[in-house]
C-alpha cells in the first residue's frame, strides 16, 4: 500500500519530498531536481524582458529609446552568456519585439517548472536626477494570494483517503511559496552584489512589491529595474552595447552562483 507520504511525494513537482510529521506535514524542498531515474535536471531560469510589441514601456526623454528594447537586449545578452553552461537552461519569455500579458509571463515560468524567474525592466521618474538600479521581490503580504492559487490548482491526494484535502493543500502551498520567497531573497542579494560594481544602484536597492510577475506559483521570482531611462548617466549605460553587456555579465554571474548553490 502506498503511504500518504508517498502519494504526496509523487504529486510534488521538482523533486520535493513530503513527510507526515508532528504537525501533519513537513515539506522538504530538494534544491537539486532529480527525476525518477536519478538523472539530474537542468536548473531552469526563465528571463522575462519587460514590455514589447505595442507596449514600449518607458520612453527615454534624454536619448536612448524605449524600455522594451533595453530589456530585450539585456535578456538576450544574458542568455547568450549562459547558453553553453552545463546544467543551466535559459528560456526567454520573448526573444523578439512582441507583447505578452503579465500573467502570460509568469505562466511561462510555471509551465517550464522554472527554478528561477527574472523579469527585467528599466525605471522612469519625473526627476531627471533619479538614477540607479533596484531589485524587487514579492511583498510578504502578497504570499497568501499565491498560496491560494497553488492550493486551488493542486492535485494533491488527501492524507486520509485519497480525496483532495483543501487544508493540506493550503499548508503545502504555503510551505512551497515560503521556500520560493526565501530563494527569491537569496538571489536578490547575489544580484545586488554583482550589479553594484558595474552600474549605479539606488541607495536602498532591495524593494518589495505586489507586481503580477512576482507571483509565479512556488517559483523564486525577482524583478530587476536596471536603471532610469530618464537619467542621462543611466541611459549612457543602458542604451549602449557595452553597458548592456556589463549588466548582462553581472546578471549571468548571479544566476550561475545561485544555480551552483542549488547543486
Q: How far is the CB of 223 from Zn ion (least distance, A)?
A: 9
Among 8, 14, 44, 57, binds Zn ion (CB under 5 A): 57
Q: How far apart are the first and last CA of the chain?
A: 33
Task: For residue 133, give the C-alpha cell.
Answer: 538600479
Of residues 138 and 172, the one with the C-beta less far from Zn ion: 138
Of residues 105 and 121, the one with the C-beta less far from Zn ion: 121
Q: How far is the CB of 136 from Zn ion (least distance, A)?
A: 11
Q: How far is the CB of 164 from Zn ion (least distance, A)?
A: 38
Answer yes or no whether residue 121 interacts with Zn ion by CB under 5 A: yes
# of chain residues touching Zn ion (CB under 5 A) = 3
Q: How far is the CB of 159 from Zn ion (least distance, A)?
A: 44
Answer yes or no whether residue 173 interacts with Zn ion by CB under 5 A: no
Answer yes or no whether residue 142 interacts with Zn ion by CB under 5 A: no
3-state secondary structure of 144: helix
* Residue 113: other Cβ atoms inside 10 A: 14
Cβ atoms of 4 and 21 closer than 8 Å: no
Of residues 13 and 125, the one with the C-beta less far from Zn ion: 125
Among 44, 45, 49, 50, binds Zn ion (CB under 5 A): 50
H/E segment holding residue 252: helix 241-261
**Angle, CA of 162, 166 and 169, to the nearest 5°:** 85
* Residue 211: other Cβ atoms inside 10 A: 18
Q: How far is the CB of 211 from Zn ion (least distance, A)?
A: 10
DSSP string, 57-109: --B-SSSS-BHHHHHHHHHHHHHHHHTT-TTEEEEES-SSS----HHHHHHHH
Q: How far is the CB of 254 from Zn ion (least distance, A)?
A: 20
Task: For residue 119, give the C-alpha cell.
Answer: 523579469
Binding segment toward Zn ion, per CB under 5 A, in 10-18, 102-110, 115-123, 173-181: 115-123
Give the Å distances, CA to CA, from 255 to 74, 92, 124, 193. 14, 14, 26, 12
Binding segment toward Zn ion, per CB under 5 A, in 40-48, 113-121, 132-140, 180-188: 113-121
Q: By CB under 5 A, name the binding residues for Zn ion.
A: 50, 57, 121
Amino acid at each position: 500500500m502506498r503511504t500518504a507520504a508517498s502519494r504526496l511525494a509523487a504529486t510534488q513537482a521538482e523533486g520535493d519530498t513530503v513527510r507526515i510529521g508532528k504537525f501533519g506535514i513537513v515539506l522538504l524542498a530538494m534544491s537539486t531536481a532529480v527525476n525518477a531515474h536519478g538523472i539530474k535536471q537542468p536548473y531552469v531560469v526563465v528571463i522575462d524582458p519587460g514590455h514589447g510589441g505595442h507596449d514600449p514601456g518607458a520612453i527615454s526623454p534624454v536619448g536612448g529609446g524605449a524600455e522594451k528594447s533595453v530589456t530585450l537586449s539585456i535578456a538576450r545578452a544574458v542568455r547568450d552568456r549562459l547558453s553553453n553552461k552545463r546544467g543551466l537552461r535559459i528560456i526567454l519569455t520573448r526573444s523578439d519585439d512582441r507583447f505578452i500579458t503579465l500573467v502570460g509571463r509568469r505562466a511561462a515560468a510555471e509551465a517550464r517548472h522554472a527554478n528561477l524567474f527574472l523579469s527585467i525592466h528599466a525605471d522612469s521618474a519625473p526627476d531627471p536626477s533619479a538614477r540607479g538600479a533596484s531589485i524587487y521581490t514579492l511583498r510578504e503580504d502578497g504570499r497568501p494570494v499565491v498560496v491560494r492559487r497553488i492550493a486551488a490548482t493542486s492535485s494533491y491526494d488527501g492524507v486520509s483517503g485519497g480525496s483532495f484535502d483543501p487544508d493540506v493543500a493550503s499548508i503545502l502551498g504555503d510551505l512551497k511559496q515560503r521556500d520560493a520567497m526565501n530563494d527569491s531573497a537569496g538571489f536578490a542579494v547575489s544580484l545586488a552584489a554583482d550589479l553594484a560594481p558595474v552600474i549605479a544602484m539606488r541607495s536602498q536597492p532591495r524593494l518589495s512589491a505586489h507586481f503580477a510577475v512576482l507571483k509565479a506559483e512556488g517559483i523564486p521570482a525577482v524583478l530587476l529595474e536596471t536603471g532610469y531611462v530618464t537619467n542621462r548617466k543611466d541611459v549612457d549605460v543602458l542604451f549602449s552595447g557595452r553597458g548592456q553587456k556589463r549588466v548582462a555579465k553581472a546578471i549571468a554571474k548571479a544566476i550561475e552562483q545561485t544555480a551552483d548553490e542549488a547543486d
